[in-house]
Every structure is written in structure tokens, then in C-alpha cells.
Homo-oligomer: A and B are copies of this chain.
Amino acid sequence: MTTTSSAGATEGRREYHTLAVSSSRRSAAVSGKSHAARPTAPTLEAVAAMAGVSRATVSRVVNGSSTVNPDSADAVKRAIAELGYVPNRAARSLASQQSHAIALVVPEDTTRFFGDVYFASIVSGINRRLERSDYLLNLMVASSAPEGKMLRYLAGGVVDGVAVVSHHTSDRFVHQIADMLPMVFGGRPAFSDIDGYVVDVDNVAGAAKATQRLIDIGRTRIATITGPMTMQSGLDRVAGWRQALEQAGLEPGPMVHGDYTLPSGTRAARELLALDSSIDGVFVASDLMASGAQPVFIDRGISVPADVAMVGYDDSPSAVATEVPLTTIRQPSERMGEEMADILLAVLAGDDSKPRETLMPTELIVRESA
């Protein structure tokens, strides 16, 4: 017998493996399949029934409220396990006004973004921190029409906070995001009038540290292969190189530009050698470029580090993959990601004690190349 009452609401509603869909409310069920989380996902209600308590109590147990009798708590937990209950995200969000998700906003050009190990590490770090929470990570790439769609998404309450990896975000739309959500930048943004947290690494100090290493081991003709001059980090590392040289009373050696990529390192090394073969040290602004440069020296019979000492930057995997392992500067890029997530999580928890700006320290890693 079927009743027309509202009972049995949790029965036969959603099925994935079954062909006979009983009471789908969806129209687009063209195929015989209705895709949903699982066949008849148990609800709070069901758990409550099984445990012999009210929904409220189950909710309290699930959310770890203290005010709950150990006995009933046990019963609830058993019921949860038995039923394989897992709270419905949407319902929870709706009721609590929190999505329990944060967005990683990437300023266009996904391919370039993902191709960069540095960003990879940041994402990895963000993820690592998020794993210890129950927050989800949403990837939002600002494409052709960034403001429109993304802003709409964010306004829709999809996420509680935003992490922006500020490559060269020149767009104003980040301002609008900052207006509605807590925000943290990975790398200092182009504008300073923005309401958000910033996590960055001290590139100047790092580069100076690298150059100082070359000075410390007695090198005096110190060149540099730079990163792109269109990026803050590229500029900063040149500044650090100059600063260390100046402080030591040394003349800057030749400078050749690269773009952080390996091939550019190869080209730069050849250029460097053509320019001035008297150098005895070189600070390369990325390990990837150093990996490209090193073979050029070696294949021409220039010993590393005996003839030319070399310090890289990043401490990327390629630093130890070169013939002569690279002395390099370790950037806590993964930790940077963790920090970003940590800040966001803290802010979302109402903790306002995080500093607006966090500068992550760099570390000299001494290997064989210098």
C-alpha cells in the first residue's frame, strides 16, 4: 500500500546502480540512471531513529558538542557506523551559512601556472594543510571573462575564503573578491591598497645569501643568470645579488637574462661564456636554469665548481639531478602554501591574530656546485 503522506521520504529516492528510478524529481533523466551520492543516503533522521534519540542530539555528536551524555553519544556513534552516515554537505552549508571550502584563484593561463614547480608546491602545501581540516579546495581559473563568472560564483557562497596566487595579477577584480571574502595572497600583489593577507618569500635576502656563498668560497668574478625581469621575484633576486656584491666591495660580473626555464639557462650560459670567460662564479636564479647551464660548462671542459662555482635557487628536484649537485637556496614554497591555508583557516575560525604579512625565510643548501 502506498500512502500519499510525506512519510518514507528517505526511501528509494536516489539510486545510482539501479535502472528503475522510482521517484526522481529531476527531469533530465534521459538514461535510466540517476546519478547521486549513493542509493538512499542515510540522514540524520535515520541515525536518530536507530539510536533512539532526537536529530538534535545526533547533530551534537557529529559536531562534537560537549553537552551530550556519553551513553547516547555511544549509541549515536554506533548508529552512524552501522548506517555509514555522512552529513550532507549542501544541507550543512545551507544551515550553517558556511561552505567549508576555499577557492584557489589562479590568474589565467593554467598551463603556465601548473607547469611551474613553484606553484605546484604551493598548491601542494595548501592542500596539505587543508587535509588536516575538513575544508575542500576549489580551483577557479580566471579566464577570459574573470569578473563575471568567477565573481558570481564567489557571491553565490561557494567558498568561505580565497587564496590568490598573485602571479602578476593586474586585474582589479581581486578587489571585489576582497570586498566579500577573506583573502590571502601567495606572493605580494601588485597593489598595496588591498584588504588581504600576504604570504611571500624574501627573494632579496635569498639571492644575497646565494651570492654570499660564492664570495665566502673566494670567488670574485661573479656573474648571474636572471629570471624574467617582468616578475617581482626576478627583479628581487637580481637586487639581492647586487646587494651582496656591493657589501663585499666586489664589482658585479656579467648579467644574462633567462626566464626560469631550462632551455633559457642553456642559452644564457652560452651567452655568458661568450661575453666573459673569466668568471669564476655564477648565481643562477632558478635550479631549472642551472640545470640547463651546467652541461654547457662541463661539456666545454669548464669544471664545476673548480673553475666556475654555481649556486642555484629553489632547491627543486632538478637541483640534485644535475651531474654536479647544486648548492642552492631553498624556498619554503610548500610551507608557503601551508601558511596561506593556515591563515585562511584561522581567519575563518574567527582568529584575528594572524599578521597581515608573512615573509618566509630562505635557506642555503650547500651541495657540490659551490
Quick one: given A110-B127, A291-B263, are A37 and B157 in contact (CB under 8 Å)?
Answer: yes
Quick one: given A30-B351, A139-B139, are A292 and B114 in contact (CB under 8 Å)?
Answer: no
Number of copies of chain A assembled together? 2
Contact A157 B263 (CB under 8 A): no
Contact B348 A35 (CB under 8 A): yes
Q: Which of B88, B96, B155, B161 is A157 in contact with, Cβ under 8 Å?
A: B88
* Complex: A182 Cα to B36 Cα, angstroms: 9
Size bin of chain A's contact surface: 35 or more
Residues of B within 8 A of A369 (CB): none
Contacts of A72-119 to chain B: CB distance below 8 A:
84, 86-91, 93-94, 96-99, 101, 104, 110-111, 113-115, 117, 119
Q: Does A276 contact B (CB under 8 A)?
A: no
Residues of B within 8 A of A14 (CB): 97
Q: Which of B32, B33, B119, B299 is A114 in contact with, Cβ under 8 Å?
A: B119
Q: Does A172 contact B (CB under 8 A)?
A: no
Nearest CB of chain B from residue A274's CB, rounded to whole Å: 14
Q: Does A71 contact B (CB under 8 A)?
A: no
* Chain B residue at minimum C-beta to C-beta distance from A161: B35
Contact A182 B263 (CB under 8 A): no
Quick one: given A30-B352, A139-B127, are A16 and B181 in contact (CB under 8 Å)?
Answer: yes
Quick one: given A37-B156, A295-B296, are A322 and B263 in contact (CB under 8 Å)?
Answer: yes
Q: Which of B25, B117, B131, B155 is A41 in contact with, Cβ under 8 Å?
A: B155
Q: List 20 A-B residue pairs with CB atoms under 8 Å apart, sorted by A's residue number.
A: A25-B96, A28-B350, A32-B352, A35-B182, A36-B98, A37-B154, A37-B180, A86-B155, A89-B157, A89-B158, A90-B91, A110-B120, A110-B127, A111-B121, A127-B141, A136-B158, A261-B318, A266-B323, A295-B296, A299-B299
